[in-house]
Structure 1
Amino acid sequence: MPPFDIPEGDPFGPHNLPYGVFSLPGPAERTVGVRLGDHVLDAGAAARALGSPHAALLARPTLNPLLAAGRTTWSEVRRTLTEAVTDPAHRATLEPLLHPLSSVTLHLPFDVADYVDFYASENHARNVGRIFRPDAPDSLTPNWKHLPIGYHGRSGTVIVSGTDVVRPSGQRKGPADPAPVFGPSVRLDIEAEVGFVVGVPSAMGKPVAAAAFRDHVFGLCLLNDWSARDVQAWEYVPLGPFLGKSFATSVSAWITPLEALEEARVAPPGRTHPLLPYLDDTSAEPAGYDLRISIAINGHVVSEPPFASMYWTAAQQLAHMTVNGASLRTGDLYGSGTVSGPAPEQRGSLLELTWNGRDALELPDGKRTFLEDGDEVTLSAWAPGPGGLRVGLGEVSGRIVAG
């Protein structure tokens, strides 16, 4: 089947066009591409062939120049590419610039500046509270409904989908252990999240309002926040996650522009507590996203978390992480936090799915409480698109290997 004959309903049709960075076999350089079905279009070469004034932004080994160009340029580039792949007159020009996904290497699509991770699912936060604070009168901490809780992670260990994850080592100490021991984590976990990619930077000392979210954030991707629960449990009091999280964070090779997700925008859950003005979104346009996520371990789906249930939106998270004057940089990445729905089959981590190891998952290849060496975890997702179509999000996968 010719590349332009995309099957009807393909989630990576012309209505989507996520951006990535790829290279061809041999000594070829990395360049920007957009996904079209099961092919990738060389976006820089296509722009040159069509005489686009933005060709130089796309003929680069990273998305960062495009990210920094701003919302007007993002729209113009997307419009040009959409017209190019839907106009039969351009078929002869573009077909040589299309490459099967199976023939290319996909790379980390942007240079990550800072990395922040949040804790925005009420279902996840309540589950964690019930697991670790079963006797507390409220499973949420007192601040949870007043601000998006987050922490700064390690940008240098953000890796592209398909990269193996080496089982981390660190200190761990069980409640009955007389002293900590050192060794490989035995409670290695996942967290199904959505990552948001910042394009336009901001000046230090000037907060970014939630209403400016779409002027600064280019797009989103699936994200797996790998977590060594035993290391995390021993180290995190009183300063929060450190070595239990910093060893690896996997992201998709494809960044879906926000413009492709117009039909997926939804209102977040109802607010139960009054919010301070910089977070108040009661009169704002819908800032949630209806993303349907699936988690598979060794090809077996174990959970389907709904992103529409997230209490704190990406716009509120952006406002909160800059309200103290912290600046944004092109390539900043921030994670939504674990996505968990209200039902047991919608939980976004093994910590919740197995209730901290109490209830093992039954998989075709055996039981699991936490990840074993050789396990491969894959996150995939789709969102409602125009005319009843689905917008596919690029999957993110990683296989655990022994340290």
Structure 2
Amino acid sequence: MHETLRRLFLEGKLKGPSQKGFDPQQWQATFRQIPSPSTADQRHFEAALWFGEQFNQLRAYFDANPLPPGSPEEVLRRVVGVVNRECLTAINTAQQTLTASQGPVTASDIIEGRITLAGNVNKAPPAQLIESAIDGLRFDLEALQRPRTSLSEFDVPKQLLHLRRRVNFTIAYHILEEEWLECILQGWIVNTADSDTIQLRPGDPESAIARVVSEYRDGMLLQEMNSLARSIFNKHSAVRDRVLRSKVVRWRGPEGTLVLGYPSKQMAFPIYVSRLSATEPDLEPFTQEPLSHRGGLTLLQLVNAWAALASISWDLSSQIPLIDIDNPSQFERFAPLLPMDALISTLSAATELTPSQCETVIDTLTWRTVRDSLWFRPLVKAGDKHRIVVIPALRAPNRVWLRS
């Protein structure tokens, strides 16, 4: 049996359309060499060429909307800051929408709710907006790792427009990449029969429906867990006091000083429920085992350290006002610099880990390449001495250690 295009892609012998080195002619030559191409081969071949064209168009849009001028540190903070601001705006809009609703708010209201940040254009669930913006951010971060051959020569309004457009482009790039993987891994089909409309449809509709139902069920279970945790937290003072007495790292504005402190009442429950989400009872026997690839730290130590750092995200979101933006430099206030020496010393005081162990924790949480998820690595390196926080990602339950 001949090797399918899918297998060649998974083995790294064929570059996908989102990867550097993708060559449509290589796909065409490989496809022609298959003695009897299967229906799946034909679909994968057509999908690769179609997605290749879409990625090329998006790359052209990026080139036409360059990043604003500034030092590498300034541009980095603006790129992260614009995403942080959009995410905080989505969170606030969702909360205001639920607060303004008539009657009790149900789990279905939360899961099925839609908001828009652009006057009823592209309505979507808040979680989807936030996840897409953060997932797409990695592409602009990756672009900043390459030498910049030219700077934007546009005026300030154009620079603002370009920054906001690039957020949309990175979201589109991420979604395209996900859809390509759906085609090559899950059998989705690119239907180009109608030149005016391009359709992506599942090759196995029954399995696709089952996935959607499963995701909805998971969302309902998460809301049920959240409600139960809220009830326990409110009724049992011992549970609540244990969280309030735990030491955490706090961010104090406007100077942005990192200090040792305790959770506020507003952040105590989110920390409690996030920690519940980050751990699983089945892992209990393994939480005390040293992880050689994490400098000998245990899973429990990593989760405790993450919980101590997560409070920074609530401080940032509560202390940074959502001001109107009329200059790209204003996005920097949504991405303040966190000194590494202060991060290490305060984290060590909060967790009783050694400075060396704290440095390992921070390295574990620091984004490296475009293939890293910012949900797993929500700190962005700004030189050797500072980190920047991707605010919603730092507070999200972190499962990178559980997976590894």
Q: What band does the TM-score fall into relative to the shorter chain?
A: under 0.3
Structure number with higher helix proportion: 2
| Greater RCO, 1 or 2 (C-alpha within 8 Å, sep 6+) | 1
What TM-score, normalized to structure 1?
0.25
Larger Rg: 1 or 2? 2
What TM-score, normalized to structure 2?
0.25
Structure number with higher strand proportion: 1
